Chains A and B, each alone.
Chain A
Amino acid sequence: MMPLRRFRIHQAREIKEAAEMLAQFGDKGRLYAGGTELLLAMKHDLLRYEHLVDVKTIPGLDKIELKNSTLHIGSTATHRSIENSPLIREHFPVIAEMERHVANVRVRATGTLGGNLCFAEPHSDPATLLLALRAKARVQGSKGERTLEMDELVAGAYETSLAADEILTAVAIPLSAKPRRAAYLKFQIHERPTLGLALVLELDDGQNIKAARAVVGSVSPKPCRSDKAEALLAGPRDKVEKQLPHAAKALAEAADPVDDLEGSAEYKRHLIGVFLRRAFDRALQRPTAHG
């Protein structure tokens, strides 16, 4: 492999400064966090930049905190720091568990949540789970701040809806007032998952599932959910259990899996059925937390 082409690194001290740098460099610049995906693409010469804007030098951008019943994960928090955060382990064990299985131990030590989401690699584990947890993306640019839903942030394969000078500053995940059970499972035989499936169930006191959110990722360009599938996943537990194959079919239709090196579309449709059932069982075994 060729060495990396020449570039300069610019250390941003605050978000506003980073936004200004990105605006100034235009197509020649790119935001740089953990570099675990960006630098690989640059090594392969698929992407070329003359300027990298390092945002890890912005103090506090990696903060993980609970404010107003909402968990905020700063965008430069590493996978490892999220996995090990006592706050996340207590309130969202499903996020800690998902992070524990992202890539490998070295990527988890350097890769950041913000970088993962903004690179928008179609096999992102966090993007799939966070969509199921109704996470919101906090974004700041030179024109001010805005908040996006996860499925607005990730527009497609390697594509976000961020403007050139906009920066993802944090992911905000609301705690649920109702008991909630969640699971994230994936199937993986190569370096990237064939499928990731997140299921979040809101329960009332008894055996009733009040609402469900199911998201499948990795099988197509971006994580996907389906209103039809989620309607089939709500109701009395026994009834929902019988409807799982129909819900899986609806989810597979919405996701429209693609053939690739991780498996054929037909195989992935089959896996959605298998993993929806496993996620259902796993979620209901889990002690109650916010996810």
Chain B
Amino acid sequence: MKLSFLLNGRPTEVDCEAQETLAEVLRARLDLTGTKVSCEVQVCGACTVLVDGLPVSACTLLAYEVRDRSVLTVEGLARPDGSLHPIQQAFIDEFAFQCGFCTPGMIMATKALLDDNPKPTDDEIIHFMDGNICRCTGYVPIVRAIKRAAAQIQQEKGK
């Protein structure tokens, strides 16, 4: 199967088979290993990527599903000059990770949240991020990072 889609803004074509998941195609065929695979049953959120702006579990979504659609992975967040996206920077500034395995998924889920709801309340953040599991931080720094990123994005928009 020839799969054509937009990957981090670039038209991409890749050969794959019907049973391959999006995570397998991203990691093994396209060498984008920023997307992590952990639970493999759509529970932990480590593999979160955005398809047409919506968060999905790349570990279980068939790559077939992204034909002619737009996929954003953590590799697509940094700006062309190499500077980090405000969400990535906020996770660093708030030390919102320890081992870092859940972080790409956390960051992509945050991207989906803030694109849809630029000023989320704590409750809205917790509801949205409920399906992203971190076994190190205890979540408090993650919520702080999300609020910091939201404020930073707002500030940049205001400029």
Contacts and interface: CB of A to CB of B under 8 A. Distances in A.
B43 interface: yes
B89 interface: no
B90 interface: no
B135 to A, nearest CB: 15
Question: Which of the four size classes fits the interface of chain B?
Answer: 20 to 34
A43 B40 CA distance: 9
A3 B19 contact: yes
Contact of A40 (B18, B41, B55, B64): B41
B40 A106 contact: no
B45 A104 contact: yes
A190 to B, nearest CB: 9
A289 to B, nearest CB: 22
Interface residues of A, number: 24
B56 interface: yes
Interface stretch (A4-12, A138-146, A152-160): A4-12
B106 interface: no
Contact of B19 (A5, A80, A104): A5
A1 B40 contact: yes
Nearest to B108: A106
Nearest to A5: B19
A40 B45 CA distance: 15
A240 B20 CA distance: 55
A154 to B, nearest CB: 22
Contacts of B17: 6
B60 A39 contact: yes
A83 to B, nearest CB: 12
Contacts of A3: 19-21, 24
Contact of A109 (B40, B55, B130): B55
Given A35-B62, A39-B62, A109-B56, A6 B19 contact: yes
23 contacts: A1-B40, A3-B19, A4-B19, A4-B21, A5-B19, A6-B19, A7-B18, A35-B61, A35-B62, A35-B65, A36-B42, A36-B60, A43-B40, A52-B18, A100-B127, A104-B42, A104-B45, A105-B131, A106-B42, A106-B48, A106-B55, A106-B131, A107-B57
* Top 9 A-B pairs, shortest CB-CB distance: A104-B131, A4-B19, A109-B54, A106-B57, A9-B18, A1-B40, A106-B55, A39-B60, A191-B43
Interface of A: 1, 3-9, 35-36, 39-40, 43, 52, 80, 100, 103-107, 109-110, 191
